[in-house]
Structure 1
């Protein structure tokens, strides 16, 4: 943080002494990746010589821009609830801005840095007037619908490789997951069963063929979707540098984003317009002459509030974390699965199933969850201790959907990792290397602590989900070969109904 004597706190109006006359605010709208914007910022501040230069930054981004030690991320928060997905959304937004900066050969945020450095050179006050980025991203994520979140996060793999490679990898993964239960339940599906080959060989080859066919179908579908949604070559216009600050171009970009996610745009743009305007009004009312450097997309909204402060929403509505729906579809599905899991064993017990059979069934459930969760945790780069913890608690996912095994594996993995906000910049730098082969990119990504932590959490959870699906589609049919589980459950339901009736009457 810079010297408190030269940094104004917009909340208290501290900093340089206010002038005798009324305060004023001049808003300079910039493109965060435009060299022309840097020149305009430096020229405006030098000409105006305001009391305070207000910049569209919060404390954390200011420190990072000044090259101070990056703040350590609260990894505990990162492992809870939807915070992983909120971070992925923030990472994607950051990555897009970094790529734009690479395209136009300028560092993202150069306009804000120019404002800060010019103010410091001239001995002017600096005010950080933006809302905390973590609050903004949390509210942004909460406001988005499930479909919008899926569309946004599905674009992340395209940063690693061309669409064709991503489609092929996605297809093969889906084919492997879907092909195994299909083969177990209905195989062989492709190879004739009458061939003079061992049954295991027939099943293995048939599984490969089924998985490949399913994977190819998914890959072709993914490529088709990309082809239909991508703009035609003659529609792709190269934006000149000066176009980036043109109001029409910025307005078109904002309208496109609003069409994609109205709720997300409200949190990312509209609320921040109001939050920044609140701070600027406070500085103006304290008698300061202010030059505010903000993104061009915020300029119109902020100026509208400055012209008529009565339009400002209460500040209390713009701060704090926002809670989502109490019962999301994900939670509803999870609780239904939990209810089904408990009902399954209760009905078998009520039917008089032998204890040995119930123990074998639970043991199979425990084993398949543990093996898949631990194996995928290791694939993500987890240490053996982290993978083992994730595997040991994986079965709990079905008992309580709020106890995801990835969280436990992630907490243990934190013993070996030093995670901080600077990891985001390293991730963007790695993903921006278009010449490196994919294996090399993956190796470099594994060296970034934040990426490894998220990969361990995510893949451990994926392993448990896959295991749950395989248990229902493969393991249960295997046990049903010797015991009619369906008949036992029906008998258990009848016995339970009789017991309840006797208790009530």
Structure 2
């Protein structure tokens, strides 16, 4: 079903529920058991009208069907450079997660969707389509990216390295705000501004615009987002405060059908 099919639903709510809704954030490390537990408990406690997750329609469908995209599907859905880029990014993510002692097969998004299903609460998909993100990324990076990275790394001073080490030493369970990972985000902007612009800033704005549309529609929302997006989304939402929501911004809404079988009990 296309994103456009959800616009009339949101428009109707704008008429029926004129008061602005609320947004409760759960900044998380996606593969952390602590944050899966935090997402579940926050949704159960707040009992929101909608659970917003950092997913697009394709990734949501993959979770619903408990499957991972294969190379054939990627080649069909993405231009070849973007398909290769997505595969590389996913492999790097999986490696980092395993090296951190986490389970790459279980995420906060999955727990949020299952909890929403348990409470019969709809899910709003607020991230931009992954195909658009990866395509934009492949358009921004090229052969000159690595030399630029090496040059910028040489310009970092001891204070920047110290802040990085402080964040690296922070236990995942202790992360509960965007400020906890802000030094990493700032460092990425210095070293790889092309990547940060696409993977962070562009998606921050896309997610904030969809959340703004939801709050203007009167929804009370619990938003499960990566901690690295927390400050950026809040900043854009502050800029949009008081403005009329852009009616061209579609917000896909799903009623999850997943059976509640993998929610952690600890």
What is the TM-score when the length of structure 2 is the normalising length?
A: 0.71
The alpha-carbon deviation at position 32 of structure 1 amounts to 0.9
Alignment of 1:265-344 (within 5 A): 265-309=196-240
Structure with higher helix content? 1
For 2:222 and 2:58, the matched residues in 1 are separated by: 21
Which of structures 1 and 2 has the larger relative contact order (alpha carbons within 8 angstroms, sep 6+)? 2
Computing the radius of gyration over CA atoms, which structure comes out larger, 1 or 2?
Answer: 1
- Residue of structure 2 equivalent to 1:26: 24
For 1:92 and 1:252, the matched residues in 2 are separated by: 25
- Residue of structure 1 equivalent to 2:88: 92
Is the CA contact 1:10–1:283 (under 8 Å) kept in the aligned structure 2? no
For 1:89 and 1:104, the matched residues in 2 are separated by: 25
The alpha-carbon deviation at position 87 of structure 1 amounts to 2.8
- Residue of structure 2 equivalent to 1:493: none
Task: Give 3-state SS (helix, strand or coil) of 1:107's partner.
Answer: coil
**Change over 3 Å in CA distance of 1:302–1:21 after alignment to 2:** same
Task: Give 3-state SS (helix, strand or coil) of 1:308's partner.
Answer: helix
Number of residue pairs matched by the alignment: 228
| Structure 1: gaps of 5 or more residues | 2-8, 153-230, 320-505
- Residue of structure 2 equivalent to 1:75: 75
**Change over 3 Å in CA distance of 1:12–1:54 after alignment to 2:** farther
Task: Give 3-state SS (helix, strand or coil) of 1:146's partner.
Answer: coil
Task: Give 3-state SS (helix, strand or coil) of 1:258's partner.
Answer: helix
Alignment of 1:401-412 (within 5 A): none
| Structure 2: gaps of 5 or more residues | 150-160, 251-266
For 1:251 and 1:108, the matched residues in 2 are separated by: 26
1:79-128, Cα deviation, whole Å (9 max, x unpaired)? xxxx4443333223212321233232323561111111111101111111
For 1:282 and 1:270, the matched residues in 2 are separated by: 18
The alpha-carbon deviation at position 46 of structure 1 amounts to 0.7
Is the CA contact 1:247–1:296 (under 8 Å) kept in the aligned structure 2? yes
The alpha-carbon deviation at position 136 of structure 1 amounts to 0.2
Kindly indicate whether residue 123 of structure 2 is the aligned counterpart of residue 126 of structure 1: yes
**Change over 3 Å in CA distance of 1:150–1:11 after alignment to 2:** farther
Alignment of 1:288-437 (within 5 A): 288-309=219-240
Is the CA contact 1:148–1:260 (under 8 Å) kept in the aligned structure 2? no
For 1:45 and 1:145, the matched residues in 2 are separated by: 42
What root-mean-square deviation, in Å, do the aligned CA atoms of Structure 1 and Structure 2 show? 3.8
